[in-house]
A and B are shown apart, each in its own frame.
Chain A
Amino acid sequence: MKRTNELIVGLAVMAAIIVFTWGIFAVGENMTPGVTPFSQDVYHLHNVVLGIVTVIGVLVFTAMFTSIVIHRKSKGYQAAKFTHSTKAEIIWTAIPVLILVVMAVPATRVLIDMESTGGAEMNVKVTGYQWLWQYEYIEEGISFFSALDRDSNRARQIGSGIDPRTVENYLLEVDNRLVLPTNTRIRFLLTADDVIHSWWVPALGWKRDAIPGMVNEAWTYIEEEGIYRGQCAELCGADHGFMPIVVEAVSPEAFEAWVAEQRGDLAVNDSEGAEDAVEVVEVADEEQEQVQPLAAAEFAELSQG
């Protein structure tokens, strides 16, 4: 009699919790699947683990709320005396271990994949500054800075009177985008000039810290053309919230054209001084002294590797 009661109430409680949980998931946002094999692996892993912990949560809360509904003093329920059950304790130690193994196996596989080095078809060095990014295309010999665009920068000042909602891609737009080819294995070399930054584009599936005096590595292989936005993810001072990242993924052919254009522009700039690009070059000159020693050390490292 008692047993049936517990079963019926338990099922009702579980149904209620499942509906509630489903509501919570339906309302909210999930992680982006992204546009690289890594980001998709991470997305699937996230969904699997989220699913497993959700089931665990539902089961634990079902047991707890079933007990809360039935085993109350106000219903005249008499307390049992048991304080121990070796069998139950072995079960709820062993099963979590098994569940952890189930999660650890794919996590290990994906991690080994993400960390596998080599096979880079192209290298991009990313340097974090307070508060902008520098991108150097090592093979192509292109280098430029990438900072928050003017519209966002104007709107984000206190008392600007500009509603951020009227600014396109508010805080997620830069003056010079990082243009990358699709279907190319790209190695990022990340470092910083002043404090620690972290380079994060969710669509690529990872973030990696840019640390002064160290060079970190990370890889990507973008499968879809498009514009992918991210931000600095490590507190780096007052304008930490204002150094976005914009990746523009284009076809390899379009990328070649872009490279040629950049090289042409840079050559033209030296003689003619086209306004936009001059700004880029000037900034680069200013920072030249600081950047130089680090960059030299890295090129040495690169040529060895």
Chain B
Amino acid sequence: MSHTTTADHDDHHGHHPTGIARWLFSTNHKEIGTLYLVFSLIMFFVGGAMALVIRAELFAPGLQLVNPEFFNQMTTMHALVMIFGAVMPAFVGLANWMVPLMIGAPDMALPRMNNWSFWIMPFAFTLLLATLFMPSGAPASGWTLYPPLSLQGGNSLAFVIFAIHLMGISSIMGAINIIATILNMRAPGMTLLRMPLFVWTWLITAFLLIAVMPVLAGAVTMLLTDRFFGTSFFNAAGGGDPVLYQHIFWFFGHPEVYIMILPAFGIVSEIIPTFSRKRLFGYTSMVYATAAIAFLSFIVWAHHMFTVGMPLGAMLFFMYATMIIAVPTGIKIFNWVATMWRGSMSFETPMLFALGFVVLFTIGGLSGIMLAIVPANFQYHDSYFVVAHFHYVLVTGAIYSIMAAVYYWLPKWTGYMYNEKLGKIHFWWSTVWVNVLFFPQHYLGLAGMPRRIPDYAVQFTEFNMISSVGGFMFGFGQLLFVYIIWQCARGGEKATAQVWEGARGLEWTVPSPAPLHTFDTPPLVDDSVAVHKDSLT
């Protein structure tokens, strides 16, 4: 009913621009999805290179390679590039490619805005990365940009803030587009509770983005005026409050964490049923659990800052609220295990990454419960224990899910099967080394090593060395990922439309590779076509 309003934008059937213009002016969700994914992959290596600078310096005690100021620039830029450049654009790219295909829509609801929201990103990252070459250097106050430290830097801060503004605009436009697409362009019969879980998780994520990106923009704008226009929002000497910034930042920051993990939940919820040859267990409870996590994400922000000195009541509230998140998250993990239980499993690369996700994300989740315990948090906070925790949920969580999604849908995108043997080597190589990289960091934190230090006391040497070796092996192993994608894009065994034996859903009804325009005539959806079916609905 509602898709007619948007389906009549001027398509260029048959006479498509070629060369660079094709990509610059594209309004096609598949091409823009590809742009996002390629951009994200490049940023993954840029951010990864920074991580390797960090790990190289930390290989041994003493300063060998970089001075402390540059080290701080690396930790700051690594986080900003990975969060805003690698993880978020990858999920937006996947949404662009797959959401219309999964709900039977011909394209995104707002194709021109879609083009714009992507093409802002290269400019944002040019601004951000250019700060590395400025006299005052890149920002060095951590990605959280806490004042007063962040205000001590040079003029490059302005570039960083404008870059964040641009990323925020891009994210908000992307989120609006996704919401408009999902709410207006579903094929007839694709009721909300027949939507694939990836679509559901992205719908909720998009609302989170719209809710919190303006909060981040507000926080950094106050930094901007404090730094350049003489205001005192965060300056105690002028009547401001440095802790206020932390409250505002984390009011954005905690939902941001779920922006980076909810789509991952969606991806894994698509992949595990496919390779278990069994429908997702507890579909409806998955949807409600996702919504519950999103709601809770707004009332737990202060657990990032238990050590700033809060009233007892506030600490208790934020501790309890944080612990409650374990319940819906636990439901998800139990549902995935129940989906596998008595299924007929096979272990192609996407399934391996999805299983790796379930195990390693769970480890990150369990250390998250430990971090919620306030008195213990007084020891864990700002130590390497925290570094280990959020890398388990972001690298082996978010990034593993992205890799799983790439292997899962790559045949649909390229029309060829990727090299399964190399894919499996990529998984096992990554999984061994990512644990060598991050697990010892738990020990370092418990032994008392603070995060964001360029040099350390000698008792931390062994575990840092192990971690650095893991970092280099994991990092260079990702070149294999690029090779596999490149090889698959160039040719190989032809993929069928179905691709995977157990796959369900509309995206598998279109040919592989998916033609530029799909679902010009909307498909009819009923329970037999729906990916998930829950006895509750």
Contact = CB atoms under 8 A, between A and B. Distances in A.
B344 A112 contact: no
Interface string A156-173: 111010111100011110
A209 B308 contact: yes
B453 A81 contact: no
A157 B382 CA distance: 24
Contact of A206 (B370, B378, B535): B378
Residue from B62, B242, B533, B536 whose CB has the most chain A CB atoms within 10 Å: B62
A164 B61 contact: yes
B483 interface: no
Nearest to B447: A29
Contacts of B424: none
A238 interface: yes
A83 B280 contact: yes
Interface string A12-38: 000000000000100111111000001
Given A72-B346, A155-B62, A214-B243, A195 B148 contact: yes
B242 A83 contact: no
Interface stretch (B9-17, B39-47, B271-279): B271-279
A71 B340 contact: yes
A29 B337 contact: no
Interface stretch (A56-64, A264-272, A279-287): A56-64
A260 to B, nearest CB: 33
A162 B61 CA distance: 11
Given A42-B375, A57-B362, A67-B340, A211 B323 contact: no
A291 interface: no
Given A50-B370, A97-B327, A80 B278 contact: yes
A183 to B, nearest CB: 22
Nearest to A91: B334
A61 B277 CA distance: 20
A232 B68 CA distance: 15
Contacts of A72: 344-347
Interface in A75-123: 77-85, 88-89, 92-93, 96-97, 100, 103-104, 107-108, 110-112, 114-115
A82 B457 CA distance: 55
A89 B285 CA distance: 9
A133 interface: no
A298 interface: no
B64 A158 contact: yes
7 contacts: A63-B341, A72-B346, A77-B345, A79-B343, A84-B281, A85-B282, A100-B323
B327 A80 contact: no
Interface stretch (B127-135, B253-261, B309-317): B309-317
Contacts of A28: 440, 442-443, 446, 463
A172 B450 contact: no
A53 interface: yes
- The secondary structure that dominates the A interface is mixed
A42 B141 CA distance: 30
Interface stretch (A139-147, A174-182, A197-205): A197-205
A234 B327 contact: no
B251 interface: no
Contacts of B440: 28
Interface string B380-422: 0111000000000000000000000000000000000000000
A111 B375 contact: yes
A49 B448 CA distance: 19
B283 interface: yes
A156 B243 contact: no
Given A32-B447, A67-B341, A73-B345, 20 more contacts: A28-B442, A29-B463, A45-B375, A49-B376, A67-B340, A71-B344, A72-B345, A80-B343, A84-B282, A88-B334, A162-B62, A170-B458, A195-B149, A195-B152, A196-B149, A213-B242, A217-B309, A231-B453, A233-B307, A240-B68
Residue from B141, B281, B448 whose CB has the most chain A CB atoms within 10 Å: B448
A73 B331 contact: no
Contacts of B343: 67, 71, 77, 79-80
Nearest to B448: A202
A41 B375 contact: yes
Residue from A32, A83, A170, A236 whose CB has the most chain B CB atoms within 10 Å: A83
A214 to B, nearest CB: 7
A206 B534 contact: no
Nearest to B148: A195
B450 A233 contact: yes
B489 interface: no
Contact of A241 (B149, B281, B456): B456
Contact of B330 (A32, A92, A240): A92
Contact of B281 (A83, A93, A100): A83
A302 interface: no
A212 B148 contact: yes
Interface string B360-377: 001100110110011110
A82 B379 contact: no
Interface of B: 61-64, 67-69, 72, 140-142, 146, 148-149, 152, 236-237, 241-243, 276-283, 285, 307-309, 312, 315-316, 319-320, 323-324, 326-327, 330-331, 333-334, 337-338, 340-347, 355, 358-359, 362-363, 366-367, 369-370, 373-376, 378-379, 381-383, 439-440, 442-443, 446-448, 450-458, 461, 463, 532-536
A162 B236 CA distance: 41
Contacts of A196: 146, 148-149, 242
B454 A241 contact: yes
B376 A45 contact: yes
Contacts, number: 289
A194 interface: yes
Given A29-B446, A196-B242, A171 B456 contact: yes
Nearest to A239: B68
A235 interface: yes
Contacts of A32: 447-448
Contacts of A156: 62-63, 455
Nearest to A62: B337
Contact of B457 (A30, A92, A172, A207): A172
Contacts of A82: 281, 342
Given A64-B337, A67-B342, A238 B72 contact: yes
Contacts of A235: 72, 141-142, 146, 149, 451-452
A29 B460 CA distance: 10
A158 B374 contact: no
Given A71-B342, A230-B448, A100 B149 contact: no
A213 B236 contact: yes
A104 B323 contact: yes
A163 B62 contact: yes
A300 interface: no
Contact of A100 (B324, B331, B342, B452): B324
Contacts of A160: 62
A240 B453 contact: yes
A216 interface: yes
A185 interface: no
Contacts of B323: 100, 103-104
Contacts of A88: 334, 338
Contacts of B457: 169-172, 229
A208 interface: yes
A237 interface: yes
A64 B359 contact: yes
Given A107-B374, A170-B458, A83 B533 contact: yes
A31 B362 CA distance: 22
Contacts of B142: 235
A205 B363 CA distance: 24
